A = this chain, B = another copy of it.
C-alpha cells in the first residue's frame, strides 16, 4: 500500500503546533504540553473502559460532543486528576478554560488529558501558571517537548509519522504516545494523540479510529491493569485539501492503513517501553476459529506472567505458552497446536519437537521476541504485543508514589 514512513512528528502535518514545559507538577521533568491546530480540526477519541474514569475524560467528551471539532489539547503528567470528585472536575474545566483563553478559541474546542498518580488533588496553580507560558510552535523541537511532557515512568518519548497520496494530495499523519504501566488490552494508562492534515468529517474519523484501535492499542498488555485515564485522540484539520474522506472514497483504505499503521507503531513502542521491560514480545496466532479468538489467544499468551518471566530469563519454556493458549477461553483442539519461538519450532501437533536449547537461548536474547502459534482449526489470525516481566517492574511499582 502506498504509505510511506517519514521522519516527522505531530507538528509535521500542516497547520499543527506544539509546546511542552515544566510547570511544577513533577520535581524537574516536563509535565505540561499543548497541541494546537491553526484551524479547528475534526476530532474523534476513544476512552478507557474502566468504570472509574478520571475527570479530564468527561471534559474532553463534553468538548468533542458539541461540534465534533477541537483546536487544542492540553495535557499534563505527574497527576491523573482521578478520584478527585467535584473539585477534580472543576479543575479540569479550569485547565480547559485557561487554554481556550490563551489561544482565543472557544472552550469546547479544547480537549484535556492527565496522567500520573491517582487521588491527589491537581496542583492547579502550577498548571494555570504553566499554561500561560505555553508558546506553541510548528517545529520538531516543540513536538518533542510535548512528547516528553506527557511521560510518566516511560523511558523514552514515542512518536511516528507517515505520508500518503490521497485523492491526488499529500496527506500526512503523525502521532505521539505515552504508556508504561497499567497497559492492557482495551486501553491502558496510555495517552496517544494523532494529528493529520487530512480532510475528513468527525463521524468518518471515529469509524477509522475505532477499527485501528481494535487491532493495535487494544492488543497490547504490560501488566493486565487498565487505568482510569486512557485516551486516544485524533485531530484532522483538512489542510491537505483532499476531497473529504468517507468509506466510499476510493482512497479510504489508504487513510485507514495510515491510521492503523501509526497506531501499531505507537502500540509497539508502548509495549517495548513497559515498566521495567527489556524485550518486546510479539505473539502471532493463526488457524484460530476466527480473528477475534486469534487475538484473544495472542493476548492471553502475551499477558501471561509466566511467559513474560520466561522471556526475561531467555528460557524457551513453551509449556507456559501452550498453557496460556489453553486458558484463553478460545476454542482449541488440544491435539493440533504448533508453536515456534522465532524460527525455532517447539511443538508440532501439541507434541514437543527436538530443538537446540542453545539456539533458543541465543534467540531469546534479542530485544524483540516473536512467538507464533498455529491452532489449525480455522482461518482466524491476529497479533498482540507485550513485554517481559522483570525485577525492574517490581522495583518501579513497589515504590511509585515515593
Residues of A with Cβ closer than 8 Å to B? 49-53, 80, 82-85, 117-120, 181-182, 223-228, 303-306, 309-310, 312-313, 315, 317-320, 322-328, 331-332, 334, 337, 347, 350-352, 389-391, 393-395, 397-402
Say whether, besides A323-B50, A323-B52, A326-B52, A304 and B397 are in contact (CB < 8 Å): no
Say whether, besides A322-B118, A326-B228, A389-B394, A351 and B83 are in contact (CB < 8 Å): yes
Do A400 and B310 have beta carbons less than 8 Å apart?
A: yes
CA distance A319 to B81 in the complex (A): 11
CA distance A332 to B391 in the complex (A): 34
Say whether, besides A225-B306, A389-B394, A50 and B326 are in contact (CB < 8 Å): yes
Do A119 and B352 have beta carbons less than 8 Å apart?
A: yes
Say whether, besides A304-B225, A327-B226, A310 and B351 are in contact (CB < 8 Å): no
Say whether, besides A119-B318, A322-B118, A325-B52, A313 and B399 are in contact (CB < 8 Å): yes
In the complex, chain B residues whose CB is within 8 Å of the CB of A322: 52, 83, 118-119, 228
Copies per complex? 2
Among residues of B, the one whose C-beta sits closest to the C-beta of A306 is B225
Chain B CB within 10 A, most for which of A82, A312, A352, A397: A397
Besides the contacts A118-B322, A228-B326, A315-B399, what 15 more A-B pairs have beta carbons closer than 8 Å?
Answer: A51-B334, A83-B319, A119-B352, A120-B352, A182-B306, A223-B306, A224-B304, A225-B305, A228-B323, A305-B397, A309-B397, A315-B401, A317-B401, A389-B397, A390-B394
In the complex, chain B residues whose CB is within 8 Å of the CB of A312: 394, 398
Say whether, besides A304-B225, A305-B224, A394-B312, A52 and B334 are in contact (CB < 8 Å): yes
In the complex, chain B residues whose CB is within 8 Å of the CB of A320: 118, 225
Among residues of B, the one whose C-beta sits closest to the C-beta of A337 is B52
